[in-house]
Amino acid sequence: MNKFTMTINGQQSQSTLYCDVINPATGQAFAQYQQGGVDDLNQAVASAKSAFNSWSQTSSAQRKAKMLALAGVLEANMPELMALITQETGKPMAGLNNVGSGMEVGGSIAWTQMTAELELA
């Protein structure tokens, strides 16, 4: 069974609390996720605020490259992500009229690529 942990400020969380992720199609747990507390939340918010300072100073070209790299990682992991979405939501891989977990991941990739191309002042 997969265990998914939290990463806050580049570090793995030390929380020892986990919750089951239930597949609605089978009623069985297929993974566990790390449960955070208020301290984890506060650390994550502080980390995001701190990261924004350096991120906001990067050039449009650097941001675009990072966004496109993210889209590439999503695409490279599409089969695994589709399987996880199907297990988590019970949504079929293709679904009715191809609206399924493939569309979820494919849409995320397309949105990330499109966002990378936006020019903001």
Task: Output the pLDDT for position 116.
Answer: 95
Side-chain half-sphere CA neighbours of 53 within 13 A: 4
Assess contact for 48 and 9: CB atoms under 8 A: no
- Model confidence at 97, in pLDDT bands (50, 70, 90)? confident
pLDDT over threshold 80, residue 99? no
Domain shared by 52 and 66, yes or no = no
22 pLDDT more than 90: yes
Q: Are residues 39 and 65 in the same domain?
A: no
The pLDDT tens digits of the residues spanning 27-86 come to 999 999 999 989 999 999 999 999 999 999 999 999 999 999 999 999 999 999 999 999
Q: Where are the alpha helices (DSSP H) in the chain?
A: 38-55, 60-76, 78-89, 101-117
What pLDDT score does 57 carry?
92
* Overall average pLDDT of the 5-20 stretch: 91
Q: What is the C-alpha radius of gyration for the chain, rounded to an integer number of angstroms?
A: 17
Specify the pTM.
0.80
Burial of 36 (0-12, 13-18, 19+ CB in 10 A): middle
Q: Tell me the pairing of strands 29-34 and 2-4.
A: parallel
Last residue of a domain, one of 32, 57, 82: 57
**Whole-number Å distance between alpha carbons of 29 and 38:** 25
Tell me the residue range of the domain where 34 lies: 1-57
